[in-house]
Amino acid sequence: MVSSAPRIVLATRNAHKVVELREILTDALGRTGLELVGLDAFEGLEDVVESGVTFADNALLKARYAAAATGLPALADDSGLAVDVLGGAPGVFSARWSGPLADVTSTSRDEANNALLLAQLADVPDEHRGAGFVCAAALVLPGAAPGSTGQEVVREGSCRGRVAREPRGSNGFGYDPLLVRPDGRTLAEHSAEEKNAISHRGQAFRSLGEDIVGLLGQA
């Protein structure tokens, strides 16, 4: 059965992220009556090259494309790990920090990224291993003319900790097994509910949820 509810599109093909964002935005979606769908709900859409130099740049690139292509309000995010002693790197390059290393070593991209980061920080003492996840979440409304965009809002969230000396935990992905929170556990050692409550993505999208309600409450 096809839903007749008005839709808002999340600029991703990752089904797990769509489910996660439905949970984070439960309140906003309930208050507006909007149904959150991913890019796979539409045919012929292309992947957007994340060529921005900031998280906000990349989030807006994806949300603008989705809004213009579908004529619907669109959401997108970009996030990564910023390590203090590396001047904020890997930053926007977090997902591809290891370059071709994963292909050379036949390991997963996450494993290669984590291994390279740990090697770069091998001689850094614990007190100087501060780091944090950063997320920029964007909402872009469609414009009056077909293929155009209108109002834009960006909200950010962060989740601070320090980089562990080895990966721990299996409840996360990316650098989650490396970021140790103040309670001594890595993000990957938190449950999904705990992570959503404190994570950079949870913070950014819960804040953006108020904008969704304010701008689309009559949808």
**Exposure string over 112-133, b if 16+ CB within 10 A, otherwise e:** bbbbbbeebbeebeeeebebbb
Domain assignment of residue 35, yes or no = yes
Binding-site annotation: residue ranges: 12-17, 78-79, 173-176, 195, 200-201
Domain assignment of residue 11, yes or no = yes
Number of domains within the chain: 1
Runs of H (alpha helix) within 106-198: 109-120, 192-198
Domain assignment of residue 212, yes or no = yes
Domain assignment of residue 152, yes or no = yes
Domain assignment of residue 91, yes or no = yes
Domain assignment of residue 1, yes or no = no
What's 25's DSSP letter? T
Q: In a structure prediction context, what are the per-residue pLDDT tens digits for the chain, which is 219 residues long?
A: 455 689 999 999 888 889 889 999 999 999 999 999 999 999 999 888 888 999 999 999 999 999 999 999 999 999 999 999 999 999 999 988 998 766 655 468 889 999 999 999 999 999 999 999 999 999 999 999 988 999 999 999 999 999 999 999 998 888 999 999 999 999 999 998 898 899 999 999 999 999 999 999 864
Instruction: Supply the range of the domain harboring residue 89.
Output: 7-216
Residue for token pair 């494993």 = 111
Residue 104 neighbours by CB distance under 10 Å:
10
Q: Is the pTM of this model over 0.85?
A: yes
| Contact between 198 and 159 (Cβ < 8 Å) | yes
| Contact between 11 and 68 (Cβ < 8 Å) | no
Tell me how far apart the alpha carbons of residues 200 and 206 are, in angstroms, rounded to a whole number.
10
Runs of H (alpha helix) within the chain: 15-24, 26-32, 55-70, 101-105, 109-120, 192-198, 200-216
| Contact between 22 and 49 (Cβ < 8 Å) | no
Domain assignment of residue 125, yes or no = yes
Domain assignment of residue 28, yes or no = yes
CATH of the domain at 170: 3.90.950.10
Out of 78, 84, 103, 110, pick the active-site residue: 78
Is 57 catalytic? The answer is: no
